[in-house]
Amino acid sequence: MRALIAKRKSTTRDPAPSKWRYRLQRWMLTPTFVATLRLGIPLALIAIIVTTFFSDPDNRAMISDTLAEAKTSLQHRPEFMVHQLKVEGATPQIEEQVRRVVQVAFPISSFNLDLESLKTNVSSLNTVSQAVVKVGEDSNLVVVVTPREPVAIWRDGSVLNLLDTEGVFSGALETRADRPDLPLIAGEGAFASIQEALRLFERAEPLGPRVRGLVRIGERRWDLVLDRDQRIQLPSDDPSAALDRIIVLNAAHKLLERDVAVVDMRNAARPTVRLTTEAANALRRVSERRVDQ
Amino acid sequence: MRDLYDSQRAMRNMRKAAMQRGVVAILDIGTSKIACLVLRFDGTEDFKNADGIGSLAGQSQFRVIGAATTRSRGVRFGEVDAMQETERAIRTAVQAAQKMANVRVDHVIACLSGARPSSYGLEGAIDIDGGTVSDSDIGRVMAACDVPDYGTDREVLHAQPINFALDHRSGMLDPRGQVGNKLTTDMHMLTVDRVALQNLYFCVKRCDLELAGLASSAYVSGISSLVEDEQELGSACIDLGGGSTGISIFMRKHMIYADAVRMGGDHVTSDISMGLQVPMATAERIKTFYGGVMATGMDDREMIEIGGDTGDWEHDRRTVSRAELIGIMRPRVEEILEEVRLRLDAAGFEHLPSQQIVLTGGASQIPGLDGLAAKILGQQVRLGRPLRVQGLPQAATGPAFSGAVGLTLFAAHPQDEWWDFEIPAETYPARSLKRAVRWFKDNW
């Protein structure tokens, strides 16, 4: 009979896997099990370690501190530092304005510079039409400014303002004599129609130095003011054509050299001339004398 | 018979699941060795020469991707004797085969050689009233077979339809779609000991494996070692195993008889062990190296060192002539073959048109066995080796593996069994309704 109690040492060697070894081998041949073992357990371990580490507030603070420190030290490397402001393409006044606007405490890391807002600030200056803000070479903060080109002077009461082609104020003047080359406009809302005014000034070129300026009337139409207090009242529609007619009349009849106070062109079909009081009186006297004779 | 039908159907479903997984293990549990092959199926594909009612269980191309053999433990006469030992042996074989295949197998198709198989020829007949034969009719005619009382301690292992007859036309392979009045069938049923089957089932279960099929070892050896014309014309396959010798008779590609003699190569070994007074292991070695059944004059002079480690010089230096060894082996081999002869005679083997006998199994490698078998069994005897199967290692191509190889063929291309057909239609309520309608028509 076969020995029912297993002997310690068998005469014939029958290598047989134990039940658990056999099961282990079968598990290791199961793809999902192997995947779990190879991927799932390391991932789970890592997850456990990370969560235990981060569940401690001290550790979290330490990590964030270290990160912030590393960030600052990187940002404050000399390669990234900006030392001074350089303004290009600006007059001394504008440069002063720009420097006033760009309030940056140098030296500063270029990471901490908000170039967008600097650009907005500089561009919002009246005297500046365009601005380019960049961190240039030699660790300079470079502001390249395109100043507004004044094309006219707008008088508001006693204040003389410079206007550019877009009707934007680009500065103030002490006296008219500072910029005798610029035409003068006045009146409420004159700056809004600066383009029209500039065109009219161009048309009025033949009148030469007699032109004093344009006055906006009722934010609607222009009066061309000449010396000797002469006025040419232009219509709101097509003022250029009306001005041309006057210039032609002037060339033909020397209209404006006469004692005329106002040339009213507001109604194109019915141009009217108003004489000065003296002229009118003189005319009346002459006509009365004629009547008397 | 009902629960058997269900359990076998469950096994078929398991087999289908295994096919879907594409991997199934073959387990040949023999008395001297346990072989495990791991098969990989490459998808179902029709076999070109599929005669008869096509395989209902599905057929497949396969490849052997793992093979392992281990010395069998705890098996006697092809039956599980010591379950723990057998379980360990199965584990060893399965583990090695899995390691070679590098894939986990969950489904096992097993065969057993012992368990006292006995064959029954059944006959069933039904009326089909001039209609065409349908699938359900075939199920019905098989259910109509009068099953003999084979005993409560027996279990049906195979129940294969081997012949259909429609009215007076017999020998049909596939009667479906044909018109007739009376459909009869012949069925071959093989029963085995229930206890042996249960032991095997539990052994496999304890190894965390699912049993996806069971077959008789004699049957699967026949599938693998008989060539096509032998299967067609009638032949017997004698599977000389370790603890039992399986006999299966094939005719028209169906097994028509199977039996087993409870003697095999191990008995020859034990005879040598007793005759020469040597341990079994030595006897086995002497048998495989010097064994034979036909003595010649040369064998008297060839002396074999028996050896031993008792320390007694005289005892340890014994020699024996090869003729003496043959003298020990031959009576036992003769006895086995005589027993086989008796079984074949009982089965009426001599009435078959061709009486080819094919010897296979591990014990068929004894030199001179074919000559001895020709004297006892008849002139048409040859030694058989199993069919070549794709991927089978060279070491597993010998006649000892005809059972395992046959089991691979059985796994890939199982023959239709009774339980592959649908449940007899009588249980359907629709049928009884139809019957009631017919009764009304007939009577009014």
Min distance A37 CA to chain B CA atoms (Å):
16
- Beta bridge pairs of residue A264: A233, A272
In whole angstroms, what is the distance from residue A141 CA to residue B172 CA? 103
Q: Which of A147, A165, A185 is the last residue of a domain?
A: A147
Residue with tokens 């066995």: B369
Helix (H, G, I), strand (E, B) or coil at B108: strand
Domain for residue A122, yes or no? Answer: yes
Task: Determine contact: A12 vs chain B, CB below 8 A.
Answer: yes
Q: Within this chain, do residues A97 and A218 fall inside the same structural domain, yes or no?
A: no
DSSP secondary structure, B247-291, as one string: EEEEETTEEEEEEEES--HHHHHHHHHHHHT--HHHHHHHHHHH-
Q: For chain A, what is the domain count?
A: 2
Find the mean pLDDT for residues A216-238. Answer: 84
Q: How confident is the model at residue A267 (pLDDT cuts 50, 70, 90)?
A: confident
Q: What is the pLDDT of residue B48?
A: 45
- Say if A115 falls within a structural domain: yes
In 3-state terms chain A splits into helix, strand, coil percentages (rounded to 5) of 45, 25, 30
Domain assignment present for A194: yes
Pairing of strands A169-173, A140-147: unpaired
The number of beta carbons lying within 10 Å of the beta carbon of residue B272 is 26
Selected residues 200-229 of chain A with any CB under 8 Å from a CB in chain B: none
**Are A272 and A206 within one domain?**
yes
**Domain ranges for chain B:** 118-193, 266-327
Provide the chain A residues 15-34 that lie in CB contact (below 8 A) with chain B: 15-17, 19, 22-23, 25-26, 29-30
The verdict on B394 touching A (C-beta cutoff 8 Å) is: no
Q: Does A291 touch chain B (CB under 8 A)?
A: no
Q: Closest partner residue to A16 among B88, B98, B103, by Cβ? A: B88
Strongest mean pLDDT among A157-166, A213-222, B318-327? B318-327
Preceding omega of B148 cis (within 30 degrees of 0): no
Residues A182 and A217 in one domain: yes
How far, in Å, CA of A173 to CA of A158, rounded? 10
User: Domain check: are A272 and A285 in the same one?
Assistant: yes
Chain A and chain B share a number of CB contacts under 8 A equal to: 35
On average, the pLDDT of chain A sits at 83
Indicate whether A34 belongs to any domain: no
Question: Is residue A65 situated within a structural domain?
Answer: no
B131 vs B152: CA distance, rounded Å:
38
Q: Which of A12, A17, A29 sits opposite B102 (nearest CB)?
A: A29
Greater model confidence, B72 or A8 = B72
The phi-psi region of residue B381 (left if phi > 0; otherwise alpha if psi is between -120 and 50; otherwise beta) is beta
Joined together, the tokens standing for residue B83 give 């379950």
Tell which of A147, A180, A200 closes a domain.
A147
pLDDT of B296 reads: 87
Q: Which of B38, B69, B90, B104 to mutate to test the interface with A (most CBs of A within 10 A)?
A: B104
Instruction: For chain B, say whether A35 makes contact (Cβ under 8 Å).
Output: no
Instruction: With H, G, I as helix, E, B as strand and everything else as coil, classify residue A213.
Output: strand
B391: left (phi over 0), alpha (psi -120 to 50) or beta: left
Q: Give me the residue from B88, B104, B281 closest to A26, CB to CB.
A: B104
Range of the domain at A132: 79-147
Beta carbons of A12 and B281 less than 8 Å apart: yes
Q: What is the CATH number of the domain that holds A120?
A: 3.10.20.310
* Positions in chain B short of pLDDT 50: 1, 46-59, 425
Of B71, B95, B103, the CB nearest to A22: B95
CATH code assigned at A187: 3.40.50.11690
Residue A189 located in a structural domain: yes
| A121/A214 same-domain check | no
**Position with higher pLDDT, A248 vs B58:** A248
pLDDT of residue B54: 43
**Which residues in chain A are closer than 8 Å to B91, comparing Cβ atoms?**
16-17, 19, 22
Q: Which residues of B145-176 are buried (b: 16+ CB within 10 A; e: fewer)?
A: beeeeeeeebbbbbbbbbbbbbeeeeebeebe
pLDDT of residue A171: 73
Same domain, A236 and A249: yes
Q: Tell me whether residues B98 and A26 touch, CB distance under 8 A.
A: yes
- CA geometry: angle at B330 spanning B282 and B321, to 5°? 55
- Joined together, the tokens standing for residue B118 give 């006995």
A116-142 pLDDT, tens per residue?
888 888 888 777 778 888 887 777 888
Written as six digits, the tokens of B400 are 């000892």
Q: Which of residues 96-155 of B touch A (CB under 8 A)?
A: 98-99, 102-104
pLDDT at B3: 64
A17, part of any domain: no
Distance CA B404, CA B362 (A): 12
User: Does residue A55 have a pLDDT over 60?
Assistant: yes
Answer yes or no: pTM beyond 0.80: no
Classify the C-alpha dihedral A56-A58-A63-A64 as positive or negative: positive
Which residue bears the tokens 């048409």? B380
Q: Measured between beta carbons, which residues in chain B are less than 8 angstroms from residue A12?
A: 71, 281
Q: Where a domain ends, among A147, A170, A195? A: A147
Co-location of A172 and A280 in the same domain: yes
The reply to whether A277 and A186 lie within a common domain is yes
Q: B24-67 pLDDT, tens per residue?
A: 999 999 899 999 999 988 765 544 444 444 444 444 578 889 99
CB atoms within 10 A of CB B134: 14
B73: nearest CB among A14, A19, A22: A14
Is residue A83 situated within a structural domain?
Answer: yes
Place of tokens 């986990």: B104
Q: Are strands B254-261 and B245-251 parallel, antiparallel or unpaired?
A: antiparallel
Cα B76 from Cα A52, distance rounded (Å)? 60
Instruction: Provide the pLDDT for residue B424.
Output: 59
CATH superfamily of B266-327: ATPase, nucleotide binding domain (3.30.420.40)
| Dist. CA B344–CA B348, nearest whole Å | 6
| CB-nearest partner of B71 from A14, A26, A30 | A14
Average pLDDT, chain B: 86
Domain topology for B118-193: Dna Ligase; domain 1 (3.30.1490)
Residue A13: what pLDDT?
Answer: 66
